Structure 1
Amino acid sequence: MRIALLLSFLFFTTLSAQQLKLEGSETLKADRFLGYDTYGNLFYELESVIHKTGPLGEFVFRDYGLGPIHSVDIINPLNVLVFYQDANTVVFLDNRLNEIERINLGTQALAINVDAATNTGNNRLWVFNVDTQQLETYNYRNQRQTIVSQPTAGEVLGMSSDFNYCYLLMEDGLHAFNVYGSALWSIPTQGMNQVVHQKRNVILASEEQIYLLNREQPELIQLEVPEIRLKDLQLTQEFLYIYDGDTIYRFTLTQPK
């Protein structure tokens, strides 16, 4: 698949391909690789159970009654967010994967239906409201909504966020927002189904291709990917992790000569 390089408010160009340097790998039996937290703990999902393994041992969390796990946000290792889309519910876990709190968004006073949810900090969530087709920040303590985006048609293909920014991958493209409700830019895309980010760097990917994007100077850079399946991704400050279903590969970016 090729990414469509149409223009939307800003000028985007594709630079020469940038290489990935393999630094190491490890095998993993999992249905989904969720990533490493800032303490070096590995998170993964196997048979609807979340696993965390690291220096303190191995911990698990399961709740089959909520249905399949839609996403897990480990940006705050002391307050891990698990989103169950079918149950319209988020569950917060501590650093040993004990449940801290669960919030059914459909039974809140505002009763919102959500397609995606991640952690914004300060008792807030990034949520994509299915009823309005808009990205919002939602304070689950005082149950206040702040609308961030205009209505956007189509399905949510991916969402990556931190406490200040959110990147929403829709059928019509990738949209960037800040926590104050400002739309930063949009890029029409084709064939991309994953988005991850770390600070200013954003990764867009399909099963075959991967692109690097800088938030401040958004130019798309195609990355030279080894012949491995791109199943799950994580971008940290030091490494890009690619999971192919059997092995986690750890890469660093090398500047093109």
Structure 2
Amino acid sequence: MKYLISVFLIFNLFFVNAQKIDTIIETEFIKKTALKADRFLGVDDFGNLYYIKNNTLTKKTNQKTYNYTNTQLGEISSVDIKNPLKIILFYKNFNTVLIVDNNLNELSRPINFNNSSFSKNIHLVNGSSNNNLWIYSLDDNTMQLYNYQNHKIQFTTQVLSFYQADFKVINLLCTYKDCWVIGENNILHFNEYGTFIEKTELIGFSELAFFKNTFIFLKDTHLYLYNDMASVPIHIKDKISIQSFYVNKNDMYIFDGTTIHVYKIVKN
């Protein structure tokens, strides 16, 4: 009798846990739009489209198109659009950050890290809250939160190899509060106070986007949702050659080099 009860409890536990993890994520096609761009950046909360063509940042709304170009600072390395009122452009070759408003007008003078008090070669930049920037430098292999109004470092993490030996940084994925440092096979999560939260192992991905409290990633031409240490396939009916993708709320924007395909994530 005890044996039967144990088997029953184990079966129930397995069944409940299995229900928690989806076997596939379904999507619903919304629309597609032709786009001539070198890099598709994403779509903000207002539905405005951002991309780079010939080293010019473009914002396209339903009514108007805005452009920003700065020939003195060279190639645009990255653009952070999560706050459409303070868009952050990073020019790595000139160690400089520019912040523009919703009309792509400069909000302040360029932030030149060569002239700052700590003078570092910055490799990656992403926005935070309260006039702060997440910055990563290979000079000391640390993450820092930098306030560009008072020109002060809010905090500095441990050397990243402290959390993971031989950790090689690829990119940053940040919200207003937290930041995920993307490595080749691992992701390091820090909160707004610079406290290390956790390490996530994720192997073989080429693109990564934040979705709710987890990630959607591209691996071997297919999209997956990271869910409880499992990779759940995202089903897309159409065959698309994915060059890049962006996720905003439940909408997923896939760029194939000439067209943006928009899908809604309907099951998660």
TM range (shorter): 0.7 to 0.9
Aligned pairs for 1:245-256 (under 5 A) are 245-255=257-267
Q: Deviations over 1:157-212 (max 9, x none)?
A: 22211111112211232222211222222223332122221442422224612222
Are 2:143 and 1:135 equivalent residues in the alignment? yes
Provide closer, same or farther for how the CA distance between residues 92 and 74 of structure 1 changes in structure 2, counting only shifts above 3 A: same
Are 2:151 and 1:151 equivalent residues in the alignment? no
CA distance in 2 between partners of 1:38 and 1:143 (Å): 30
Are 2:93 and 1:89 equivalent residues in the alignment? no
Matched positions, count: 242
Provide closer, same or farther for how the CA distance between residues 15 and 149 of structure 1 changes in structure 2, counting only shifts above 3 A: farther
What is aligned with 2:53?
46
CA distance in 1 between partners of 2:158 and 2:256 (Å): 33
Of 223, 237, 242, the residue aligned with 2:234 is: 223
3-state SS, counterpart of residue 20 of structure 1: strand
CA distance in 1 between partners of 2:141 and 2:21 (Å): 30
What is aligned with 1:239?
251
CA distance in 2 between partners of 1:135 and 1:91 (Å): 20
Unaligned runs of 5+ in 2: 1-19
Select between 139-148 and 43-52 the one with higher mean Cα deviation: 139-148
What is aligned with 1:165?
178
The AA in structure 2 aligned to 1:53 is K
Could you tell me how far 1:147 is from its partner in structure 2?
A: 1.8
RMSD between aligned alpha carbons? 2.2
Select between 73-82 and 135-144 the one with higher mean Cα deviation: 135-144
Aligned pairs for 1:1-257 (under 5 A) are 16-101=23-108, 102-140=110-148, 141-152=150-161, 153-206=166-219, 208-213=221-226, 219-225=230-236, 226-255=238-267
3-state SS, counterpart of residue 121 of structure 1: coil
CA distance in 2 between partners of 1:199 and 1:254 (Å): 13
The AA in structure 2 aligned to 1:95 is N
CA distance in 2 between partners of 1:115 and 1:209 (Å): 28
- Percent identity of the aligned residues? 27
CA contact (8 A) 2:221 2:241 kept: yes
3-state SS, counterpart of residue 86 of structure 1: helix
Q: Deviations over 1:7-32 (max 9, x none)?
A: xxxxxx98523222222111111011
Provide closer, same or farther for how the CA distance between residues 89 and 48 of structure 1 changes in structure 2, counting only shifts above 3 A: same
Structure with bigger helix share is: 2
Using the size of structure 1 for normalisation, the TM-score is: 0.85
Unaligned runs of 5+ in 1: 1-12
Q: Deviations over 1:101-154 (max 9, x none)?
A: 210112100112211101102121011121111222112223224123542445
CA contact (8 A) 1:59 1:97 kept: yes
Asked which structure has the greater RCO (Cα within 8 Å, sep 6+), the reply is 1
CA distance in 1 between partners of 2:194 and 2:243 (Å): 31
CA distance in 1 between partners of 2:124 and 2:211 (Å): 19
